[in-house]
Amino acid sequence: MSVTLAPIVAGPGERARPLSRALARPAARLGLGIVLLFFFLCAFAPLIAPDDPYAQDLMSALARPSLAHLLGTDQYGRDVASRVLYGARYALLAIVVGDGLALGLGTTMGLAAGYLGGAVDAVLMRIVDVLLAFPYLLLALIIVAALGPSLLHSMIAIGIVYTPQYARLVRGQVLSVRQMDFVRAARALGASRARIILRHVAPNSLSPVIIMATLQAGSVVVETAGLSFLGLGAQPPSPDWGALLADGQNYFLTAWWIATFPGLAIFLVVLGFNLLGDALRREFDPRAR
């Protein structure tokens, strides 16, 4: 005997409406536009970039922005515009690895804690408490110290830092969803624990997770860039935005453009994800309205 119960919570039609309402706001559309542009630039950086981001040309080092180099050149004569463009790919990688790790790990912890309860819940939530006992950048610093400074390690560190937030969110969602009639019905019909979690509880806890992932994407970009800026993330000569800023800091009194444009790029991407995430939260989370 099979029973289809998913539409009881929210059918596809009901979900589409708040989404289109969320995107009706000008701020949300601006956010979406920035995010789409960011994805586009990541995908087509090799076609758009005027130069090789690694090609040095010492004869034109520290050149001001001009027609030859729209955003100027750095101390090795590398084209800043090309480096910023390729840097977008590092930011996207940080989102995929960092935000992805936090989402995967946090969601698993939250599902297990919320659904299994008891000792599992107690242990997992104490781990979450301990992780939250560190200011987030300090925790990232400790993890990078343990693993050694590198781009991948900085992304893993940021992923672990944001894990507790997903774990708490999903646990809360699960606790409310598991009391709903369709989950009780599935349990009464003899569905296995794993099936109930994966087929019924997880999908119905998902929309706040997606909103959080959108909001965190911006933070992940800033934090990994921050670690690179401190010399603990991406290492030279990679054109990570944080590393570009660190480079520019040494020259910013004489060549302001090296640090200015990567910083502006970080700001815009974070703004895009924040505007989009904010609009989604307003529509999907009744408390935020």
Partner 1 sequence: MGDYLAGRLGQLLIVLFGVSVVVFVAMHLLPGDVATLLLGDRATASALVRLRHQLGLDQPVIVQYWRFLRGALAGDFGTSLRDNRPALAEVLAAFPVTLQLTLAALLLAIAIGVPLGVLAALNEGTWVDTAITTPTLFGVSMPVFWLGLMALLLFSEKLGWMPVGGLMPIGTTMPRITGLSVVDAVLSGRLALVGEALRHLVLPAATLATIPLALITRITRGEMLASMHLEHVRTARAKGLPEGRVIRAHVLRNALIPIVTVIGLQFGLLLSGAVLTETIFSLPGLGRLMVDAILARDYPVVQAGAIFIAVVFVLVNFAVDLGYAALDPRIRRQ
Q: Which of residues 234-253 bind partner 1 (CB under 8 A)?
A: 242, 245, 248-249, 252-253
To partner 1, the closest distance from the beta carbon of 235 in angstroms equals 12
**CA atoms of 29 and 22, how far apart (whole Å):** 9
The closest of 244, 268, 270 to 257, measured between CA atoms, is: 244
* Cβ atoms within 10 Å, residue 152: 12
| Sign of the CA dihedral with 226 first, then 230, 168, and 171 last | positive
Query: Is residue 263 part of the contact set for partner 1 (CB under 8 A)?
Result: yes
- Which residues is 250 bridged to in the sheet? none
41 or 244, CB closer to partner 1? Answer: 244
Q: At what angle do helices 80-94 and 241-249 cross, to 10 degrees?
A: 130
- The reply to whether 275 sits near partner 1 by the rule CB under 8 A is yes
Q: Which of 53, 79, 98 is nearest to 222 (CA)?
A: 98
> Which member of 202, 259, 276, 280 binds partner 1 (CB under 8 A)?
259
Site for partner 1 in 133-192 (CB under 8 A): 133-138, 141-149
Least distance from C-beta 253 to partner 1, angstroms? 5
Least separation in angstroms between residue 268's CB and partner 1 is: 8
Q: Contact between 225 and partner 1 (CB under 8 A)?
A: yes
Q: Which of residues 1-30 bind partner 1 (CB under 8 A)?
A: 27
Enter the tokens of residue 125: 């939530």
CB of 282 closer than 8 Å to CB of 211:
no
Question: Distance between CA 107 and CA 127 in Å, rounded?
Answer: 14
Which residues of this protein are in contact with partner 1, per CB under 8 A?
A: 27, 126-127, 129-131, 133-138, 141-149, 218, 222, 225-226, 229-232, 242, 245, 248-249, 252-253, 256, 259-260, 262-264, 266-267, 270-271, 274-275, 278
